[in-house]
Amino acid sequence: MDRVIRVGSRESRLAVIQSEIVMDAIREADPTVTTELVTMKTTGDKILDRTLDQIGGKGLFVRELDRALLAGEVDLTVHSMKDLPAELDANLPIVAVSRREAPYDVLVLPEGCEVWDQSKPVGCASARRSIQLKALYPELDIRPIRGNIQTRLRKLDSGEYGALVLAQAGLHRLGLDSRIHRVFSPEELIPSACQGILAVQAREGFDPSCLRTFHDQDAFVCAMAERAFIRALDGGCSSPVAAFARLVDVHTMKLTGMYVSTDRRHMRVETIHCSPTDGTARATELAKRMKREG
């Protein structure tokens, strides 16, 4: 009898597309498996009139999915890995991560515009982006914006904003590359930890063999280093911290971390090189030292 794997997902169009990527990989790895998609609206999707730091941070995007997974209502859950809180339930391990899509932040202009009107506010959803963007363009009026990508684009196109800063990976997965006006280099805007990576969670004891063709070990190593940096700084969605790791070669990881003081008046950026096997430990050391030195 065919095995059925139920995959839990947020109900946004992007979340569904991302879950379908995982489901396709499962069926390719094991054609005897049948997959079922189970969607739900999370607390973070329901409350859109306040910024995430005002309502509890990134955990609000996973709470309902975690509950369904623990209750056995679904067998796997799929997340944009950058949305996972720094601390995870030990009973719900990450069992696979995707190859990393383009991890960068991008500038998006209103439909049909070729010139950025900087007299209008820029919609920006995170403190990490806002602080770095303000350093690049001190005169900008940067305002928070919530909602899924389509909702944000509608607000942009209606004239409410002059531009948005979004993740390139999400636009690409939605087939909206044409909306990208410019790509920010990681030297301009350090990406969110794990941006561009999908994470699959399961209950402890789940056999991940059906995800063997999906899992990318290079992305996993980088993601664990980035998460270690954020965790060492107690970083949540509201924390203006960032980490970006890249494998230069099989022997070398390049990790850039950003630390911002509590009052947000001072920002530090530092880059280290280390062995990929030491990435998590070295990232933790870097974060603690940057915090200690202020």
For the question of residue 99 being annotated catalytic, the response is no
DSSP state of 59: G
Sheet containing strand 33-40, edge to edge, reads 33-40, 3-10, 76-80, 198-202, 94-97
For the question of residue 152 being annotated catalytic, the response is yes
Catalytic residue among 194, 210, 222, 237: 237
Catalytic residue among 10, 58, 100, 128: 128
Catalytic residue among 58, 82, 173, 227: 82
Catalytic residue among 10, 58, 100, 129: 129
Token readout for 203 is 């209950």
For the question of residue 83 being annotated catalytic, the response is yes
Calculate helix-pair angle for 217-232, 279-293, nearest 10 degrees. 20
For the question of residue 82 being annotated catalytic, the response is yes
Calculate helix-pair angle for 149-157, 13-29, nearest 10 degrees. 140
Per DSSP, the three-state class of 204 is coil
* Residue 77, strand partner residues: 8, 201
For the question of residue 129 being annotated catalytic, the response is yes
Catalytic residue among 10, 146, 173, 227: 146
Per DSSP, the three-state class of 10 is strand
For the question of residue 128 being annotated catalytic, the response is yes
For the question of residue 212 being annotated catalytic, the response is no
Catalytic residue among 10, 58, 152, 173: 152
Look at residues 9, 128, 126 and name the one whose alpha carbon lies nearest to residue 62: 9
Catalytic residue among 83, 100, 194, 274: 83
**Could you list the active site residues?**
82-83, 128-129, 146, 152, 237
